Amino acid sequence: MSQELAIIKQENIQTIVSAAPQSYKDNKLSRENCEAAGKAILDAIVQGGMTDELDQRAAQYIEKARKTVKKMNERRAPVTQLFDTIRKEFTVMENAIDPTKEGTIPFKLQQFRNKFAAKKRADEEERRRKEYERQQAEAARTKMRQDIEDDFKQQFQSLVNRDCNALTAIDNAVTLDNYEASFKQVKDYSTELPADFLYNLHTLIRIPAGITVDEIRKAEIETKERLAKQFKEQYEFEIDSTKQYIIDRLPSKKTNLERMAQASAEEAARIKEEMEARQRKEAEEQEAERRRKEEEEKQKAEMARQQSEMESLFGQQAVVSSGYQPKVKVAQKINLLNPEGIMPILSMWWSKEGCHLSVEELTKMFKKQITFCEKLAKEGTYISDESVEYVEDVKAK
């Protein structure tokens, strides 16, 4: 006969129906009689204090109470054991499909799912890491190309400033004796970008980490090819504008020089002062215009840099999961590598929580450890600490 049939068979049901009420009634009566007898002794002790006679009566009563409890247990045992058997069988059936119980099919399936989820998560994290590294590398290359362009533009602007200053120096050095030669020198000054400028143009930026010299050289070539036309047109415009500005004013300067040569020393000094003042003013205006253009170029470069950084940032945010990903709950579990590892765990627990608990809570929590130390005390081994004391626990037999 199966265990299931053994549980539900008629005699077991009959045992529960017939024996349970009578056992309950008998045990209830035993409890009432035992309590009544004990209360009489307890009241006598409370009223008159403990005596040898009362101590002996109490000892006899306690022994009878133990026997009564044993008898009560024997009466209800057939019923309660049967209930325990039924409860156990129900528990066995539940445990057989409980996902938390080791060995069940749901438990085994959960283990496979856990391993699968862990692998999927590790694969996804690896994919995210590689994608992040790729985007970081691409962002670094984009920044490198922008830095090269900014550097080339700065070098180009330095060339323009140098040649414009050279023309201005010729203008400032004009005299009646060298006027014709200076006029011709300005007029013949080439407006074409020096042929060797682009050839000798190389970046002065530091090579970023993870980027090779070959990549730098390739980026230089591509940037020069892209900026060559702009540099040539801008150089021609800037130099030609400066030339025309100087040529338009040279006749007036010659006239002033001739007036100075024919005038008195005082008048010549006045004319010279006026001419130099006008030249300073015009030079300041030119310098202000040059700085304005440089600032515009800087702002354009900065906007391009910010745009590139924003695109890189949004690209990084777009690193999303690919394909099916099971729902997971990730927790950090501690794995002790050796027994000594328990000490830092206890230390952290004590500093964060244990030190705030009451003596009662700690005593209950560490009952096993306290009991162990109490056993050692029987052997003469004591804890020596101001926070620990030993008290005698006396029990009557």
pLDDT digits (tens, 9 = 90+) for 70-84: 999 998 888 888 788
CB of 139 within 8 A of CB of 312? yes
Cα dihedral value 85, 86, 88, 93, nearest 10: 140
- Take residue 112 and report the two structure tokens written for it: 């496979």
Tell me the average pLDDT across 312-323: 56
Tell me the average pLDDT across 326-351: 91
Give the side-chain half-sphere CA count within 13 A for 68: 18
Tell me the average pLDDT across 140-149: 90
∠ CA 125-130-136, rounded to 5°: 125
Q: Per residue in 248-305, pLDDT tens? A: 988 988 888 888 777 667 777 777 777 677 777 776 777 777 678 767 777 776 776 6
For residue 325, the model assigns a pLDDT of: 78
CB of 370 within 8 A of CB of 363? yes
For residue 6, the model assigns a pLDDT of: 52
Sequence-separated (6 or more) residues with CB below 8 Å from residue 11: none
Q: Which of 7, 10, 158 is nearest to 82 (CA)?
A: 7
Pairwise CA distance, residues 182 & 169, whole Å: 10
Q: Per residue in 199-245, pLDDT tens? A: 899 888 887 788 888 998 999 999 999 999 999 999 999 999 999 99
DSSP state of 208: P
Pairwise CA distance, residues 209 & 198, whole Å: 26
Element (H, E) at 165: helix 105-172
For residue 13, the model assigns a pLDDT of: 63
DSSP structure string for 311-336? HHHHHHHT----S-------------
Q: Per residue in 17-31, pLDDT tens? A: 666 788 889 899 999
Pairwise CA distance, residues 342 & 350, whole Å: 12
Tell me the average pLDDT across 109-127: 92
Pairwise CA distance, residues 160 & 239, whole Å: 7
- Take residue 4 and report the two structure tokens written for it: 């299931």
For residue 301, the model assigns a pLDDT of: 64
For residue 7, the model assigns a pLDDT of: 53
Long-range contacts of 113-116 (CB under 8 A, 24+ apart): 113/326, 116/326
Q: Kindly report which listed range (144-148, 263-267, 391-395) carries the lowest average pLDDT score.
A: 263-267
For residue 285, the model assigns a pLDDT of: 74
Q: The whole model's pTM is what?
A: 0.55
For residue 5, the model assigns a pLDDT of: 46
For residue 39, the model assigns a pLDDT of: 94
Mean pLDDT, the chain, rounded, equals: 86
User: Is the per-residue pLDDT at 324 higher than 90?
Assistant: no
What CA–CA distances, in Å, run from 120 to 93, 99, 130, 331?
Answer: 34, 22, 15, 16
- Per-residue pLDDT band for 331 (boundaries 50, 70, 90) equals confident
For residue 308, the model assigns a pLDDT of: 60
For residue 295, the model assigns a pLDDT of: 77
For residue 157, the model assigns a pLDDT of: 92
What CA–CA distances, in Å, run from 181 to 165, 167, 172, 186, 239?
Answer: 18, 13, 13, 9, 19
- Per-residue pLDDT band for 2 (boundaries 50, 70, 90) equals very low
Tell me the average pLDDT across 157-165: 92
